[in-house]
């Protein structure tokens, strides 16, 4: 019998984690082979590999311990990829040479599959003097554009494009431009962005004081702290970004505050890391550890939990020695601190199984107790490893035990560390688990509530047809197996029905015993008032969270799947809109109106001429065909191909604005060019810009980087009156949800955050 409890779980395994040869032939015949591959690989560094291979296999068996996707896909494959998920790159020097050295390091890291974070606060603000060249600085955002263009072309491990986090301090002179940068939807698409908020800034906001924006000791501007806070809030209210990171709290609570300073995080924010910091991830599946689910005696098996955590810590510690690293600085950081990020998944399902309503005071208290049990087990396991293998090289007992987090640890754990040391400097983190949660049978993701108890997923078959299958939450499936069609109890709640403050309560409860941070989305209703929205962030600050990420569905962010609460049995996600495209190409009229544009690429001998012709339909003008010509014969083949392909797309009708987005995203590894004050990553991107300009001119799209203005040939049919979210770029399904700080597809698990 298959180990998979749902078809989607097996499909995720086959697509993302199953080892296959270069021609696509499976090497892992079963998921047991995948577990065996991982266990054998991570046991190789042990003195008795055979014994530990069996123990590691037992932990993996039944999806109890879930290593992060990079470990599951890469361990034991001999592929040149890193098994680490999270990197923060080196401090960016405030010099042109240093900046592009950092860009090269970023490319090398992302090429091996790592998500990266950068603090751009170290780059001088726009307009500052550049000594020696009689010029003004272009500012950090201009260099973020360069990073963004580079990232679009780097395909990371597991067929995912790279993900990046950009942070900027709340006192940097360019902070207001940073806050609003992503209002242009075509800009910084590969970045998540977060503001580093300091304690002094929060105090100034609460006291309604002024706030200086400074760089290298020079005050550039003075603003009202509350005004700046409101700009951050307004942007995230409208755009879901930037996130907020309480950076002073992170540094104060860091076990390594005596030897490192943190100024950035990985793309999803659960790993605040120092320069060249690296961390690997894994999760204990709480949903698989509940004894007698839904019975009066239901409880989490504490003994099994402690044993599983201890084994997981040992496996993760071994990853430090088994993994490759893109850069030697990253290897040194990982090996001298041996940081790991053990978290959980299936929390919401586990709470349901023991009869608790996610978000309630009782659920928060239970979550805190479970997290404490995990922290104690992890730290004591790391002490045992230190006895056997030695403490991490930078361990200093007196300084380590005096840090903020360790001051709150139980005295027996502190005593053990004082006597024997500890193997890993930091041990706990709650990371995004969207894909591995699907792989584990659609358990609830991380510490998030259940998103939808059941929904219908369209699956693309080999013959091109699509079939529908029901995807059911793990806890709901167990309920069905025990009680059939019996109505779900009222403590079954989901992300759509929870009050925002319930989310905050759960995040704060978990954070108390997590030494790194938490990737979590606080879902807010579309009609939440701006003042109530701001209160969510202030509550996160007041309750001890290290950061805050919210999502409010609207016209800009996209609507999440709507969930019916009126169903007699299981609430199901409603089907959304169907976009109807013209099935046959339009006939070409004898005469068309159009415009021809001259494009001169720097350092190119010949110009390129781009003609866009339009057709009139019901009084509206829309693009019909494109001609691209140049005297440069090196361009001949690709310009002809581009002409034919774009024209074919235009003649099919519908929303063709994606053509512009795709062209503008093309990056030339030989380098782009500065045109009209903007960095353009390739000549194809420049052509995309010309076509975009034309579409704006004729009124087909609203503006640069924006969508349709009017399109009489594209009809959007609403079913049940509920709008739906954006289509997944990987599988095309309209099932994108904001989970754990990142847009994630419920159908295939795709997430740009990795």
Q: Which residues are known catalytic residues?
A: 266, 268, 270
Q: Measured in whole angstroms, how far is the alpha carbon of residue 113 from the centre of its chain? A: 13
Tokens of 196: 């580093």
Show contacts of 694-698: CB within 8 Å, 24+ apart: 694/595, 694/597, 694/612, 694/623, 695/623, 695/657, 695/660, 697/595, 698/614, 698/621, 698/622, 698/623
Using the CB atoms, write b or e for 18-45: b if 16+ within 10 Å.
Answer: bbeeeeeeeebeebeebbbbbbbbbbee
- Phi, psi of 621, rounded to the nearest 5 degrees: -100, 130
Neighbours of 518 (CB within 10 A): 26
DSSP string, 614-642: EEEETTEEEEEEEEEEES-GGGHHHHHHH
- Phi, psi of 614, rounded to the nearest 5 degrees: -120, 155
Can the peptide bond before residue 242 be classed as cis, meaning omega within 30 degrees of 0? yes
Indicate the SS3 state at residue 41: helix
In terms of Cα–Cα distance, which of 436, 425, 339, 392 is closest to 86? 339
In terms of Cα–Cα distance, which of 544, 546, 543, 548 is closest to 523? 548
Q: How far apart are CA 157 and CA 665, in angstroms?
A: 20
Task: Report the DSSP pairing between strands 736-739 and 547-548.
Answer: unpaired
Residue that is written with structure tokens 């084994």 in the block: 311
Residue 206, burial from CB neighbour count under 10 angstroms (0-12, 13-18, 19+)? middle
Q: Which helix (H) or strand (E) holds 12?
A: helix 7-12
Q: How far apart are CA 480 and CA 495, in angstroms?
A: 21
Residues 324 and 112: beta-carbon distance below 8 Å? yes
Tell me the chain's radius of gyration from C-alpha atoms: 26
């Amino acid at each position: 019998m298959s180990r998979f409890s749902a078809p989607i779980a097996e499909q995720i395994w086959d697509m993302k984690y199953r080892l296959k040869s270069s021609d696509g032939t499976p090497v892992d015949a079963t998921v047991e082979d995948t577990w065996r591959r991982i266990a054998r690989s991570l046991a190789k560094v042990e003195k008795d590999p055979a014994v530990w291979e069996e123990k590691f296999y037992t932990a993996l068996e039944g999806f109890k311990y879930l290593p992060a996707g990079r470990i599951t896909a890469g361990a034991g494959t001999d592929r040149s990829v890193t098994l680490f998920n999270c990197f923060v790159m080196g401090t960016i020097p405030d010099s042109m040479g240093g900046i592009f050295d950092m860009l090269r390091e970023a490319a090398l890291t992302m090429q091996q599959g790592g998500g990266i974070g950068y603090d751009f606060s170290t780059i001088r603000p726009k307009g500052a003097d550049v000594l020696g060249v009689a010029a003004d600085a272009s500012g950090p955002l201009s260099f973020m554009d360069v990073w963004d263009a580079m990232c679009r072309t780097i395909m990371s491990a597991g067929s995912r494009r790279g993900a990046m986090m950009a942070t900027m301090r709340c006192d940097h002179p360019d902070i207001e431009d940073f806050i609003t940068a992503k209002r242009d939807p075509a800009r910084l698409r590969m970045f998540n962005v977060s503001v580093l908020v300091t304690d002094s800034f929060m105090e100034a906001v609460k006291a309604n004081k002024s706030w200086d924006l400074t760089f290298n000791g020079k005050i550039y501007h003075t603003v009202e702290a509350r005004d700046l806070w409101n700009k951050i809030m307004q942007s995230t209210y409208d755009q879901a970004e930037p996130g907020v990171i309480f950076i002073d709290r992170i540094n104060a609570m860091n076990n390594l505050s005596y030897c490192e300073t943190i100024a950035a995080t990985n793309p999803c924010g659960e790993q605040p890391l120092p320069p060249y910091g690296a961390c690997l991830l894994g999760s204990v599946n709480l949903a698989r550890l509940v004894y007698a689910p839904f019975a009066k005696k239901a409880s989490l098996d504490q003994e099994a939990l402690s044993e599983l955590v201890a084994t997981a810590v040992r496996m993760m510690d071994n990853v430090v020695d088994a993994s490759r690293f893109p850069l030697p600085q990253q290897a040194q950081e990982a090996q001298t601190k041996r940081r790991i990020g053990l978290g959980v998944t299936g929390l919401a399902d586990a709470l349901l199984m023991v009869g608790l309503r996610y978000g309630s005071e009782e659920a928060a208290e239970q979550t805190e107790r479970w997290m404490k049990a995990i922290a104690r087990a992890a730290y004591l396991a790391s002490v045992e490893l230190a006895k056997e293998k030695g403490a991490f090289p930078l361990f200093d007992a007196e300084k380590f035990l005096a840090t903020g987090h360790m001051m709150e640890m139980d005295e027996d754990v502190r005593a053990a560390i004082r006597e024997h040391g500890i193997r890993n400097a930091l041990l706990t983190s709650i990371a995004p688990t969207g894909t591995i949660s699907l792989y584990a049978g659609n358990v609830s993701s991380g510490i998030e509530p259940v998103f939808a108890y059941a929904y219908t997923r369209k699956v693309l078959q080999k013959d091109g047809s699509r079939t529908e299958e029901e995807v059911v939450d793990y806890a709901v499936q167990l309920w069905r197996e025990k009680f059939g069609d019996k109505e779900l109890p009222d403590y079954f709640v989901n992300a759509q029905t929870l009050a925002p403050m319930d989310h905050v309560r759960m995040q704060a409860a978990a954070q108390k015993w997590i030494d790194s941070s938490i990737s979590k989305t606080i879902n807010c209703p579309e009609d939440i008032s701006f003042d109530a929205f701001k209160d969510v962030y202030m509550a996160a600050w007041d309750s001890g969270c290290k950061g805050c990420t919210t999502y409010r569905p609207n016209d800009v962010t996209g609507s999440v799947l709507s969930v019916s609460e009126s169903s007699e049995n299981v609430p199901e996600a409603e089907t959304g809109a169907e976009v109807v495209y013209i099935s046959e190409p339009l006939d070409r009229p004898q005469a068309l109106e159009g415009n021809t544009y001259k494009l001169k690429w720097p350092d190119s001998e010949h110009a390129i001429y781009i003609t866009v012709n339009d057709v009139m339909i019901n009084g509206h003008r829309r693009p019909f065909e494109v001609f691209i010509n140049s005297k440069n014969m090196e361009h001949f083949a690709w310009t002809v191909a581009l002409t034919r392909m774009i024209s074919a797309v235009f003649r099919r009708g519908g929303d063709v604005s994606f053509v512009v987005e795709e062209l503008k995203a093309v990056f030339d590894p030989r380098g782009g060019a500065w045109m009209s004050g903007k960095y353009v990553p390739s000549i194809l991107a420049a052509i995309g810009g010309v076509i975009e300009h034309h579409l704006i001119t004729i009124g087909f799209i609203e503006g640069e980087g924006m969508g349709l203005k009017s399109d009489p040939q594209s009809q959007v049919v609403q079913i049940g009156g509920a709008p739906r979210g954006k289509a997944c770029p990987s599988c095309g399904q309209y099932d994108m949800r904001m989970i754990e700080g990142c847009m994630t597809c419920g159908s295939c698990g795709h997430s740009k955050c990795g």
